[in-house]
Structure 1
Amino acid sequence: MASSAVVVGAGVLGSSVADRLARSGWAVTHVERLAPGHVRSGSGDESRLIRASHGADPLHAAMSRRALELWRELDPRLVAQAGVAWLARTADGWEAESERVLTELGIPNQRVDATDLFPSVRTDDLAFCLLEPEAGILHARVGVRALADRAVEAGAERVVAVARPDGARVALDDGRVLEADVVVWACGAWMPGLFGDVLSLRITQQDVFYFAADGQWATPGVPGWVDYDGAAYGLGDLDGRGVKVAPDVDGPPFDAQTGERRVHPEHERFARAYLAHRFPALAGAPLVGSRVCQYEITPDTWFVAAPHPEHDGRVWLLGGGSGHAFKHGPALAERLESWIAGTEPAEPRFGLGDRHRDTSLRTVGEL
């Protein structure tokens, strides 16, 4: 049985795997070009929604619920239990499918009056509001660092270097070559440049915005929220940062290594218009912060978690978060360990090969 691993990448997926393997007794070398959750990574923002709703898909619902448990086990302070509200514009869409699956899985959910959740909210275009009361808001960057640090505490060696594949080995920019029983590449937006011949990922610019608000909008108190058909999500004012509004429109192509991190003007206009529409009291609220991030999107928005076709199961590719990595990272790492060890078959939907476009796992829209 394999007993040593090199994990390349210290975003949420790579850090989850390094942590899981190290705590299971593997000899782990964890390689990162800068630092866990660095500013150019997809894991670098302050907050992420952690919720179980995934439409009609029970696999992702169960995995997200498990990830929430694991985040809280890591440190209960990482998750603000604020709940997440789904603002349903139709009676029989994504939210109704989520409600059915959550109920079947025993995950708490209830229909509520949205006006009881927000200091100001427009509801005339909503069919209903579905609340996941046990969902929450993850302190994202802090969580990634906590995972990476716990891996080191469990015996993992952290190496700061730029890595490139060398067959089944890992070549570092300082001249060293690392070998192990298994290598896991979890390099986020850098994956296409390393393995574009065997996987398909689009890297897009995704911007988030923070608007000034008074104490009524503090989170916890105000829940996180998702407007699936409105292609937007956000949360109240967490830690004094401001009310977060994130357009989930498909952004332009982006190079995470060389791209200038300036928000897209159309994204800001979308965020302001959405804020004025959904939360009228915040129309015209001052913009107090913004951040450029990126998604690594597979054609069907499902993860990539599969062995490279050329190295007899010794090299695994992990990525394609499509905006969902934090919701699943620690739970996906649990599963990946069993797949790598050969104790369970890998999930075929996360495999390499042809995929068909299906945006049902994203609140995606168009400008």
Structure 2
Amino acid sequence: MTSSVVVVGAGVLGSSLADRLARSGWGVTHVEQFSPGHVRSGSGDESRLIRSSHGDDELHARMSRRALELWRELDPRLVSPAGVAWFARRADGWEAASERVLTRLGIPNERVDPAALFPSVNADDLAFTLLEPEAGLLRAREGVRALADRAVAAGAQRVTAVARPDGERVVLDDGRVLEADHVVWACGAWMAALFADVLELRITHQDVFYFGADGRWAAPDVPGWVDFDGAAYGMGDLDGRGVKVGPDVEGPGVASMSAERRNSPELERVARAYLAHRFPALAGAPLVGSRVCQYELTPDERFVVSPHPAYGGRVWLLGGGSGHAFKHGPALAERMESWIAGSEAPEACFTLGDHRRHDVQLRTAGTKL
């Protein structure tokens, strides 16, 4: 007998799960109030880094590597094969731990001269640079839409509506009520208000900036990069949008999902200063674009993949993904299928409870600027 599920939310996590379950033969109803990949989601920017380095965390290194395979299976054009470079400011920091784990798992990595990767780079403050040559740059918005569309092609029903929980049911703004064997709420930052009684999420304002550069800075010839101890990340010019710089300090809290998304002048100055320091030839490069995202962060910045404690495994929460959901989404959905079906227990680190501690291990910010 076919199992049925309602998945609420068509960001990367919800679309990954709807796609996975539909292709496995589940009866899937996929609910989204806007459209897959819309600009107000946490997955609303055009691009993301896909890399396996996660310090000494082997679980997430394996899962990210698997997700990269699944993105390429979905559509090879979604991933630009640029690689990702890690600027290590310490000999024994996050990057060295990542290097050990990647080597143990057989994931390609090597220490390189950054001058061979970038048209202009200042490495005076670096202990070494670690390159993941098989990592890449994901066309994120296109990826979410491709997942959601493949789910429909596999039999999922897409419903455009605002949804709210009513016990084990989903109530839509037009009065319809959806019921299924399972309900999964994967609605990003909106989960903070819907499930405040069981779920702790910080919703923050985060900025990314795009700067004009000449053709030497085009991806995939120029890789993505992460400066963990410098709390910054970025990539070469992907699809002509400009060189991307993201200050990864934790932004201010967001009180309303309807807030206007205006970039912070202070963080623009931070991005410009970092660009001038790390890539001297781009000092004074013009700002050609920007984006405001909203992160939904758990206390330990790990995902929430957990049954709601009140409904005996019929209602699940899937979230806490901003900042790293694209690196794991399709692989997390692959694992979650068995958790929902009850054939395996979910990873304890993703469940609800007081075991979560505050750290920043999964983000690209090892310190505050």
* TM-score (normalised: structure 1): 0.99
Instruction: Give 1:366 shift.
Output: 2.8
SS class of match (1:206)? strand
Query: Is it true that 1:164 corresponds to 2:169 in the alignment?
Result: no
Instruction: Give 1:359 shift.
Output: 1.0
Counterpart amino acid of residue 47 in structure 2: S
Q: Is the 8 A contact 1:205 1:251 kept in 2?
A: yes
Rounded Cα–Cα distance in structure 1 between residues aligned with 2:248 and 2:2: 40
Query: Is it true that 1:359 corresponds to 2:360 in the alignment?
Result: yes
Aligned to 1:105: 105
Q: Is the 8 A contact 2:2 2:27 kept in 1?
A: no
* TM-score (normalised: structure 2): 0.98
SS class of match (2:236)? strand
Q: Which runs of 4+ in 1 moved over 3 A?
A: none
Rounded Cα–Cα distance in structure 1 between residues aligned with 2:256 and 2:70: 29
Q: Is the 8 A contact 2:230 2:368 kept in 1?
A: no
Instruction: Give 1:257 shift.
Output: 2.1
Kindly report which structure 2 residues correspond to 1:211-226, keeping only aligned pairs within 5 A, or say none: 211-226=211-226
Q: Is the 8 A contact 2:2 2:25 kept in 1?
A: no
Instruction: Give 1:254 shift.
Output: 1.5
Rounded Cα–Cα distance in structure 2 between residues aligned with 1:214 and 1:10: 36
Kindly report which structure 2 residues correspond to 1:279-358, keeping only aligned pairs within 5 A, or say none: 279-354=279-354, 355-358=356-359
Query: Is it true that 1:132 corresponds to 2:132 in the alignment?
Result: yes
Counterpart amino acid of residue 358 in structure 1: D
Rounded Cα–Cα distance in structure 1 between residues aligned with 2:62 and 2:255: 33
- Structure 1: gaps (5+ residues): none
Instruction: Give 1:306 shift.
Output: 0.2
Cα shift readout 1:174-206 (whole Å, capped 9, x = no counterpart): 000000000000000100110011010000001
SS class of match (2:272)? helix
Aligned to 1:87: 87
Rounded Cα–Cα distance in structure 2 between residues aligned with 1:177 and 1:74: 32
Q: Is the 8 A contact 1:228 1:363 kept in 2?
A: yes
Rounded Cα–Cα distance in structure 2 between residues aligned with 1:196 and 1:39: 24
Q: Is the 8 A contact 1:256 1:294 kept in 2?
A: no
Rounded Cα–Cα distance in structure 1 between residues aligned with 2:254 and 2:268: 17
Instruction: Give 1:256 shift.
Output: 5.6
Instruction: Give 1:13 shift.
Output: 0.1
Aligned to 1:13: 13
SS class of match (1:13)? helix
SS class of match (2:138)? strand
Aligned to 1:204: 204
State the number of aligned residues.
367
Rounded Cα–Cα distance in structure 1 between residues aligned with 2:228 and 2:162: 38
Aligned to 2:242: 242
Instruction: Give 1:343 shift.
Output: 1.2
Q: CA RMSD in A?
A: 0.9
Aligned to 1:227: 227
Q: Is the 8 A contact 1:86 1:131 kept in 2?
A: yes
Instruction: Give 1:255 shift.
Output: 4.1
Cα shift readout 1:99-147 (whole Å, capped 9, x = no counterpart): 0000000000000000000000000100000000000000000000000
Aligned to 1:187: 187
Rounded Cα–Cα distance in structure 1 between residues aligned with 2:36 and 2:44: 8
SS class of match (2:361)? helix
Aligned to 1:123: 123
Q: Is the 8 A contact 2:42 2:322 kept in 1?
A: no
Cα shift readout 1:277-302 (whole Å, capped 9, x = no counterpart): 00000001000000100111011011
Cα shift readout 1:17-47 (whole Å, capped 9, x = no counterpart): 0000000000000000000011100111110
Q: Is the 8 A contact 2:294 2:322 kept in 1?
A: no
Rounded Cα–Cα distance in structure 2 between residues aligned with 1:130 and 1:71: 23
Rounded Cα–Cα distance in structure 1 between residues aligned with 2:254 and 2:332: 26
Rounded Cα–Cα distance in structure 2 between residues aligned with 1:256 and 1:10: 19
Rounded Cα–Cα distance in structure 1 between residues aligned with 2:158 and 2:255: 26
Kindly report which structure 2 residues correspond to 1:142-153, keeping only aligned pairs within 5 A, or say none: 142-153=142-153
Kindly report which structure 2 residues correspond to 1:65-84, keeping only aligned pairs within 5 A, or say none: 65-84=65-84
- Structure 2: gaps (5+ residues): none
